[in-house]
Structure 1
Amino acid sequence: MYFVYRSHYEGPLSKVVRRLPDATVLDWFRRGWRCDDPESWVESELGTDVYGLDSIFEAVEEEGLRKPRTVGELRNQLHEHLYVEGDEDCIRLDEHSLRVRTDDDEVALAYFFFDDETVRAAPDRLAYLLQEWPLPEDVGPAATFTPQVPVTEIGPAGTADATTYAVFLTFYDGDSLAQWRPAAFPGVDLAGLPAHLRALTPGPEWLPELQVLRALVAPEDDAIAPALERCNRWPGFNLNWEPWSDMPDAHADAHRGAMDQLAMAKYDGLRRPETSLLRVGEHLAQLAMHCSDSFGYQQWFLFDSVWAATHPDLAQSLLRYAEHWDPLSREHAS
Structure 2
Amino acid sequence: AQALIDENGLSGSAGLEDEEHVGRSAALKIRKNQEETLQRFGVTFDRWFFESELYDEENSQVTGAYNSLVERSKTYEKDGAVHFKASEFGDSEDRVIKTSKGTFTYVVPDIAYHLNKLDRGYVKAVDLLGPDHHGHIVQLRAALAAIGLPREFFHPIIVQQVNLKRGGVEVKMSKRAGVGITLDELIDEVGVDAARFFFLMRRITSHLDFDMELARRHTEDNPVYYVQYAHARICSILRQPGAKESDEDVDLSILTEGEETDLLRALARFPWTLASIVRGIEPHPLTSYLTELARGFHLFYSRHRVIGDDRRTTAARLMLCRGVAGVLSGGLRLMGVGAPEVM
Is the strand fraction higher in 1 or 2?
1
Q: Same fold (TM over 0.5)?
A: no
TM-score with structure 1 setting the length: 0.30
Q: RCO greater where, 1 or 2, for CA within 8 Å and sep 6 or more?
A: 1
TM-score with structure 2 setting the length: 0.29
Is the helix fraction higher in 1 or 2?
2
